[in-house]
Amino acid sequence: MLPNIDYRELPRAAQRLMARSQFDEATTLPRRSFLKLAGVGGLALGAFPHLAMAEAAVGQAASALKPTEQPSAFVQIASNGEVTVTINRLEFGQGVQTALPMILAEELDADWSLVRSRHGSNDAAYLDPRYGIHITGGSNSIKNSFTQYRELGARARAMLLGAAAARWNVDVATLRTEAGAVLGPGGRKLAYGELAEAAMALPVPEKVTLKDPKDFRIIGRPTPRLDARAKSSGRQDFGIDIRLPGQLTAVVARPPVFGARLASVDDGAARAVKGVKAVLRVPLDRGAEGVAVVADGYWQATQGRDALKLQWDTSAVEKVDSERQLAEYRELAARPGPRKLDADMTPLGTAPRQLEAEFVFPYLAHAAMEPLNCTVALTEGRAELWVGSQSAGLDAAAAAGVLDLKPEQVVVQVQMAGGGFGRRFSSTSDIVVEACAIAKAARAAGLNAPLRTLWSREDDMRGGFYRPMHLHRARIGFDEQGKVLAWDHVIVGQSITTGSVFEQFQVKNGIDATATEGMRDPYPLPMRLTVHHPKLNVPVLWWRSVGSTHTAFVMETLLDEIARATKQDPVAYRMDLFGDRHPRHRAALQLAVDKSGYGKQPLPAGRAWGVAVHESFQSVVAYVVEASMKDRQPILHRVTAGVHCNLAVNPRTVEAQVQGAAIMGLSMCLPGSAITLKDGIVEQSNFGDYTVARITDVPEFDIHIVPSAEPPTGMGEPGLPPLAPAFANAIAQLTGKPLRQLPFNLA
Amino acid sequence: MKLNVNDREVVIDADPAMPVLWALRDIIGLTGTKFGCGVAQCGACTVHLDGEAVRSCITPISDAAGKKLTTIEAATDGTDRIGAAVHAAWLKHDVAQCGYCQSGQIMSAVAFLKSLPPGQQPTPDKIDAAMAGNICRCGTYARIRAAVADAARTLA
């Protein structure tokens, strides 16, 4: 999600962002506390410092260690030996809830059968140790916290050893640890549970020695998820399942067009619905207005909402129309604009072979299975939020702004989330801001109860924050050997990081790096890349694998087309371009080729191979797929993957992430996988008119990981980008016609 | 309204038109059954009514009166042979990712396996057809297929 973060600058950028307020000037939401935040400073930004203070009480403050380095915030060992590891990320399917404890348990020498896991909060301990903000995104969780969690485990282990040495009155050098126990001379043994209390009173060592990776017992071993049992029996609580005494539920009537305000409200019938407690006019994200219906439960609230008679004033707001938008994007593509890459295009005129192509990608909704929700409990001078948040600190600061509180008066309890794919980190904290605005209005109306704001599926599907629509245009000159002589490329699409905490790193020279990530590299191609970022009122956001959702498709299908046009094998063609400078790409592709039988094993009649390889978030995934056409519809039969993510902490999760990301990539190809607008109104509303892959769409998988001992890179996203182009390349092989649109258009 | 939920008699004060989903979640406090779409398109809310898989988000509680309602909590508590086999297969194959849809997936799988004649092993196509009404946005489908087939084998 974030190609160009300067992690030293990110906390300051977050401060500036909050200082200038995340709210539209038109709203009446207070902004005073955002300004106050500037005084909080440094890494404690947006955090609730109770844990840091607790640590001071047990003498840890004397240490030079940051909160992110203090074991007490991350590992608790109960007297029965249970080890509970707190994760500094949101678990929403990607498996960090298991992988982070694995990393810590490795260096702790824990008994894995006694390891548990829990979520953190917006406490300073749970900042990303490199970026200095609370963040789950960019496939960074394992990459950025690998060393952090190893050191945390090693520190806790050193303290346990110290406690045992004191207990037995022996030199610590005579002791060793194994599976949750300290072993001493003469067969002495003390379980961690017996030592934990004494150990936690000891000073925290700053320097620790980490294991040699060849001694890993837990890291690298395919490990079942810690949450598997709860998630296979209905016993896992998600944010939506929080039930506090007296809790009420709110649903919001949102404007039909982004940013519209109310012209009139007749709420007589809504107030008469049994169970409805209040009907509140509330400010919404981006200067819009809405009506919140607060009731005993969700169903009563929706009954109330259905009974509202509302008139909207849409006269002053932009009404985007997808067809007109495409025509405008085409016009824009023909104009000069800022250039990300600027190779000499002279050879275009004289190149022996020419290729011109236009690609269109629609808006896409994240459509996570758990509908968006946030529960807020307000008491005097304090707010507690329960929300599946990818950005607990920024969300807390935004909540403080709405509620007229200081950031340290807001606690965000991060909840297990039912998917997210980027939607649970919005640039405006819209989910949390709206829930807090409603809770504040409800309290002002005399309702002193915890309030859960819950979105319907329709609210989510029509609520914006989409992967932006994009138009790509390419004009390529190449020779008979397939050597590209000049590649003139244009991208048109909204910028997703403008207005977000990442703007100052991602937007340079008017070009948002997230729109161009995945273009050209690693191929040594002479490319001129022009980028246009039109401004529209449709909210846009990162969406699993971000820019690579479209750039990988463009690059990998065009290169395949050049290979086909010059009668070259698409694998050999790519290998030649990688040369010896991209060994990870080569290794991933070769593994997929070898395991698939590509080029060796004959395919059943009517099937064709398709190949694509793409690096995103520093991991490389190569797919070799088998596809066919049936009744004029493309069918994906088999996917063989070669994955290079350096050391795979939990290979079983890596396999799951590749399968899942590939299926999300497959979804992009299916008819109906598009968000479109007509006269400002989103035309889709639910899973009936917005397609996501079902089990009947799904191929067989065979996933292989390139062995490596290098520090891990992330795997939440990189499995997505190469799926659609590999599938498209196989279909183009069969039909002779390239696919240049997602979802696939075979017309 | 009187309901039989997981072999327990439950009396609730609610509009008979209220969907079973919201009676379970907001009134009875059984939150294992999930809200996904509200219009019977995703299957996250699947429960059993007299053993049949139904979408609780569009089933009014008046339709459940006089019938036996079974939710994920009871189906996987070890007392039901088929539910226990499916639960075990889900663990063995580490199916869940975010896990949100899995209650519904498991309830569909259990109802499907209960519907098979004794000893019959389902074909891959039959498994797909039985599970086609349940969306998993994380894309756990490959493991769902393997787990359903495995559960069927252990029950043979």
* pLDDT per position as a tens digit, A425-460: 998 999 999 999 999 999 999 999 999 999 999 999
Is the pLDDT assigned to residue A294 strictly greater than 50?
A: yes
* Cβ atoms within 10 Å, residue A171: 10
The answer to the question of residue A605 being in a domain is yes
A211 to chain B, any CB pair closer than 8 A? The answer is no
CA distance B8 to A583: 62
Q: Are residues A184 and A49 in the same domain?
A: yes
The answer to the question of residue A491 being in a domain is yes
The answer to the question of residue A318 being in a domain is no
Residues 371-430 of A with CB under 8 A from B: 371, 416-421
Residues 6+ apart with CB under 8 A from A605: none
Nearest to A664 by CA among A746, A722, A711: A722
| Helix extents (H) in A487-605 | 503-506, 513-516, 548-565, 570-578, 583-596
CA distance A143 to A134: 15
Cβ-defined contact of A95 to B42 (cutoff 8 Å): no
A297 to chain B, any CB pair closer than 8 A? The answer is yes
The answer to the question of residue A527 being in a domain is yes
The residue of A274, A296, A299, A654 whose CB has the most chain B CBs within 10 angstroms, and thus the best one to mutate to test that interface, is A299
CA distance A495 to A515: 7
* Cβ atoms within 10 Å, residue A688: 14
B123 to chain A, any CB pair closer than 8 A? The answer is no
* pLDDT per position as a tens digit, A499-541: 888 898 899 999 999 999 999 999 999 999 999 999 999 999 9
Residues 224-243 of A with CB under 8 A from B: 224-225, 227-238, 240-241, 243
CA distance A250 to A299: 10
Q: Are residues A343 and A485 in the same domain?
A: yes
The answer to the question of residue A309 being in a domain is no
* pLDDT per position as a tens digit, A364-376: 999 999 999 999 9
Q: Give the global pTM.
A: 0.94
Contact residues, chain B, for A229 at CB < 8 Å: 91
Give the chain A residue whose CA is nearest to the CA of B146. Answer: A700
CA distance A181 to A177: 6
Cβ-defined contact of B91 to A230 (cutoff 8 Å): no
CB-CB: which of B37, B102, B132 is closest to A696?
Answer: B132
**pLDDT tens-digit profile, chain B (156 residues):** 999 999 999 999 999 999 999 999 999 999 999 999 999 999 999 999 999 999 999 999 999 999 999 999 999 999 999 999 999 999 999 999 999 999 999 999 999 999 999 889 999 999 999 999 999 999 999 999 999 999 999 998
The total number of structural domains that make up chain A: 2
Give the chain A residue whose CA is nearest to the CA of B42. Answer: A687
Is the pLDDT assigned to residue A40 strictly greater than 90?
A: no
Cβ-defined contact of A695 to B90 (cutoff 8 Å): no
Measure B61 CA to nearest chain A CA, in Å. 12
> So what's the ipTM on this one?
0.98
Query: Helix, strand or coil for residue A188?
Result: strand
CB-CB: which of A232, A371, A657 is closest to B96?
Answer: A232
Measure A473 CA to nearest chain B CA, in Å. 31
pLDDT for position A30: 29
Measure B93 CA to nearest chain A CA, in Å. 8
Cβ-defined contact of A371 to B36 (cutoff 8 Å): yes
pLDDT for position A2: 57
Give the chain B residue whose CA is nearest to the CA of A94. Answer: B97
Give the chain B residue whose CA is nearest to the CA of A365. Answer: B137
The residue of B135, B138, B140, B150 whose CB has the most chain A CBs within 10 angstroms, and thus the best one to mutate to test that interface, is B138
Q: Are residues A341 and A212 in the same domain?
A: no
Boundary of a domain, candidates A201, A229, A257: A229
- The bridge status of strand A470-478 relative to strand A607-616 is unpaired
B40 to chain A, any CB pair closer than 8 A? The answer is no
Q: What is the DSSP string of A76-95?
A: EE-TTS-EEEEESS--SSSS
Residues 6+ apart with CB under 8 A from A602: none
For the segment A73-77, the average pLDDT, to the nearest whole number, is 97
Boundary of a domain, candidates A166, A199, A229: A229
Give the chain A residue whose CA is nearest to the CA of B31. Answer: A241
Nearest to A492 by CA among A511, A518, A517, A520: A511
8 Å CB contact between A652 and A659: no
The answer to the question of residue A409 being in a domain is no
As a residue count, chain A comes to 747
Boundary of a domain, candidates A208, A229, A250: A229
**Sign (positive or negative) of CA dihedral A552, A557, A562, A563:** positive
Cβ-defined contact of A243 to B44 (cutoff 8 Å): no
- The bridge status of strand A619-630 relative to strand A633-644 is antiparallel
Q: What are phi and psi of A374, to 5 degrees?
A: -155, 130
pLDDT for position A26: 29
CA distance A634 to A744: 9
Residues 6+ apart with CB under 8 A from A260: A288, A289, A312, A313, A314, A317
Within a 13 Å sphere around the CA of A506, how many CA atoms are in the beta-carbon half? 23
Q: What's the DSSP call for residue A555? A: H
Q: Which residue has the higher pLDDT, A61 or B5?
A: B5
Q: Are residues A556 and A701 in the same domain?
A: yes
Cβ-defined contact of A661 to B98 (cutoff 8 Å): no
Cβ-defined contact of A94 to B101 (cutoff 8 Å): no
The answer to the question of residue A555 being in a domain is yes
Question: Which residues are bridge partners to A361 per DSSP?
Answer: A470
Q: What is the DSSP string of A307-363?
A: T-EEEEE-TTS----HHHHHHHHHHHHTS---EEEE---GGGGT-SEEEEEEEEE-B
Cβ-defined contact of B98 to A419 (cutoff 8 Å): yes
Nearest to A546 by CA among A101, A57, A139: A139
Which domains, and CATH codes, for chain B? 2-73 (3.10.20.30), 75-155 (1.10.150.120)
Q: Which domain holds residue A521?
A: 336-364+465-735
pLDDT for position A25: 30
Domain containing residue A581: CATH number:
3.30.365.10
Q: What are phi and psi of B49, to 5 degrees?
A: -115, 110
For the segment A620-629, the average pLDDT, to the nearest whole number, is 98
Cβ-defined contact of A233 to B73 (cutoff 8 Å): yes
Contact residues, chain A, for B96 at CB < 8 Å: 225, 227-228, 231-232
B91 to chain A, any CB pair closer than 8 A? The answer is yes
Give the chain A residue whose CA is nearest to the CA of B97. Answer: A93
The answer to the question of residue A557 being in a domain is yes
